Every structure is written in C-alpha cells, then in structure tokens.
Chains A and B, each alone.
Chain A
Amino acid sequence: DTAVSQTPKYLVTQMGNDKSIKCEQNLGHDTMYWYKQDSKKFLKIMFSYNNKELIINETVPNRFSPKSPDKAHLNLHINSLELGDSAVYFCASSQKLPGLAGAPLEQYFGPGTRLTVT
C-alpha cells in the first residue's frame, strides 16, 4: 500500500483554467502539507492542515486553496492558472505531537504532481 498518494501524476492545462490535485495518506497522520518544487528543484512549504485547521499559509496567492474533507485527505485547488504555476507539487504528512513538548516528527512525501501550464 502506498503511504502518501497523489493524483494525477501529470497535469497539463492552459492558462486561466481551474484544476485540482488530490492527496491521500493511509498512515493515520494528523497533519498534511503541500509543497511546491520549482524548476531549480527548490522546495517551499505552501500549506499545512492539522485536524482540518489551516496552520501555515506562506505567501501563496489566494488562487491556491487547500481543502481537507477529512484527516486522510488534503486536496489543492488552483484557480485561474498562470504560467508561473508550472512546477512539481508534493503532498506530505506527519504525526501531530501531543501537547507542546517533544521534537517534530519526520514528514512522508507523495510521488509528486508535475503541473505544466501552457
């Protein structure tokens, strides 16, 4: 069984369209994330969700909106796609720590979705 899965693996679309990327994890984790990897392989956090609450929202355009129907899923919706949105998008998950003590745990990544906007 795949721990963190994403669909689709490849997505080619035209500027101005609206698209979604789906992510599912079967690890029982409480926190899920979206990362963007640009053409130079640089990775940057976009969002994270913990128990259906958005807890990180970096300076990402509001055309991007995460939606979490339940703890195991975190989908990424993108409106009015632009050329600069072309990238590989990775979903990840990790276990929430009890209380405020303890070290942050590792994140497990999905295989990525390569988005190409033409």
Chain B
Amino acid sequence: GNSVTQMEGPVTLSEEAFLTINCTYTATGYPSLFWYVQYPGEGLQLLLKATKADDKGSNKGFEATYRKETTSFHLEKGSVQVSDSAVYFCALTGYSGGGADGLTFGKGTHLIIQP
C-alpha cells in the first residue's frame, strides 16, 4: 500500500533561517504529491502540489520538487517567518479507476519559528 514518511518535529528555527522538511513516499504507479499546512485550531490548507515527476510546486515562498528516482518531495523555504509556525503534512494520492483515492498522509512536522 501507499505510505508517506516525513521528519517528525518539533523543528525549531530562528526567523529568516532556511527550512527543509524531508518527505519520502512509497506508492504504486504515479501518485500526485501534496504539502498541506495546518495552523493552530484550523483545518488543512493546500500549500503546494506536484502531479508528475520533476514537477516543482511552489506557493508563498515554499517549494518542493517531485523526485521519482529518490521517491521524495522535500519542502523548502529560503527565509522563514514567525507566521510560518504550523504543522506541515506531506501527502499523496493515487487513482484506482473507480474514482479518486483518499489522501495518505505523513505524521506531520510541527514547525516553530522563533523571532
């Protein structure tokens, strides 16, 4: 079955530091990959996505590249802000023919940015 492994936090950084959150996956076929973000007390928001190998998803200064050869989708940001403090989830979905599959999530990485 499908699975997603991501580094577990909490990850604590100073403002303006460089961020990397690692994510690797196991899946059959050609899944789509996503990063979702959950701010305290809120639901999940789609941060970025990539649907095929070598695609780069980007949004709000965050980037991630779909690497099929290493089955990875690492999240990066060049300069983090306090407002980036949240829980970040790597996720994938496949397609089983009868309709869209549910998302398979990693366990989430709690990111804390200190001023």
Contact = CB atoms under 8 A, between A and B. Distances in A.
A42 B103 CA distance: 12
Contacts, number: 81
Contact of B101 (A53, A56, A106): A56
Contact of A42 (B43, B97, B100, B105): B105
A12 interface: no
B105 A90 contact: no
B34 interface: yes
A96 B89 contact: no
Give the size range of A's interface with the partner.
20 to 34
B72 interface: no
B93 interface: yes
Interface string B26-37: 000011101010
27 contacts: A40-B107, A41-B87, A41-B110, A42-B105, A43-B108, A45-B102, A48-B99, A48-B101, A53-B99, A56-B101, A90-B44, A96-B100, A97-B100, A100-B97, A103-B32, A104-B31, A104-B32, A104-B51, A104-B100, A105-B32, A105-B100, A106-B34, A106-B46, A107-B46, A107-B93, A112-B42, A112-B43
